[in-house]
Amino acid sequence: MNRRPFLKKLTLVTSGVTALPFMTFGKMHFPKSSKLKFIIASDGHYGQPKTDFEGFHKQLIEAVNSEKEVDFVVFNGDLIHDEPALMPKVKAVYDKLNVPYFPVKGNHDRISEKDWEVIWGIPADFAFTTKENFGIILANSSNQAGEYLCVDTEFLKSKLEEFKSLSHVFIFIHISQNDWTRHGVSCEEVLELIGAYPNVKAIFHGHDHDVDGIMLNRKKPYLWSGHFGGSWGSPFPGYRVCEVGEDGKVVTYLKAMADGMILSGHTL
């Protein structure tokens, strides 16, 4: 497996309102075999003017299709760049994947929740279980106007309760629910709710194109995937892989889309 020397990341470890920044490379212990493997790709911005959005998407689809034993892909928001007519077009691109995929609504996905469900076949707030013991929660953090919002805590709590007997729960939210990044929002109730469930193993965000590291709140890891499209952000557009080993341990690593090199990773 190709690996590029780890890039330094700024990590915030928070408890309540305090934060202590420090530098970390993270540690990874790749499982010999995985019970679950999924990919997170965020911020493709299909249709953004003056970008090679078609090329970005073609490269991503080829990279993901070359991955082995992937159970599903999550597109973690900003699928399109504002224009509603682009949504069916990007769906046609995603349909070229060899594995199931699930979309998360972002602030540039400026269609109504009703139209979202018509196009994608699932509501903007959606959850499911896979392989009997894994819970997946996709939570909406924006609206048709593109506002930055806290997720619906009633929906989130209902699913966390429904999944509390499962071994692993993973949450996907486009916009960070903490203001520890430039483009996050302060949603203390959401953070407190997530922190109350021991089986929540990781929360994944998009939105911040220039953030692709890990931050902690109430001992829960929050991870970003940078971007694979758009006009700004990390110099290494890519996607995140997450694997759960037979021993239940979770490893996640960021891969460059262009050459498959591993940029950083963590055992959670």
Alpha helices in the chain (DSSP H): 53-66, 87-94, 113-120, 153-162, 188-195
CA atoms within 13 A of residue 232's CA, in its CB half-sphere: 5
In a domain, 132, yes or no: yes
In a domain, 27, yes or no: no
- Across the chain, which has 268 residues, the per-10-residue mean pLDDT values are 36 32 51 94 98 98 97 98 98 98 98 98 98 98 98 98 98 97 96 98 98 95 97 97 96 96 93
Q: 217, 190 in Cβ contact below 8 A? A: no
Range of the domain at 211: 38-267
CATH of the domain at 73: 3.60.21.10
How far CA 4 is from CA of 1, 54, 191, in Å, comes to: 10, 26, 33
Q: How many CB atoms lie within 10 A of CB 62?
A: 11
In a domain, 28, yes or no: no
Q: Is the dihedral of CA 243, 119, 141, 43 positive or negative?
A: positive
In a domain, 29, yes or no: no
The pLDDT of residue 78 is 98
In a domain, 141, yes or no: yes
In a domain, 224, yes or no: yes
Q: Cα–Cα distance between 10 and 153 in angstroms, integer?
A: 28
In a domain, 10, yes or no: no
The pLDDT of residue 24 is 37
In a domain, 43, yes or no: yes
Q: Tally the domains of the chain.
A: 1
For β-strands 220-224 and 238-245, DSSP reports them as: unpaired
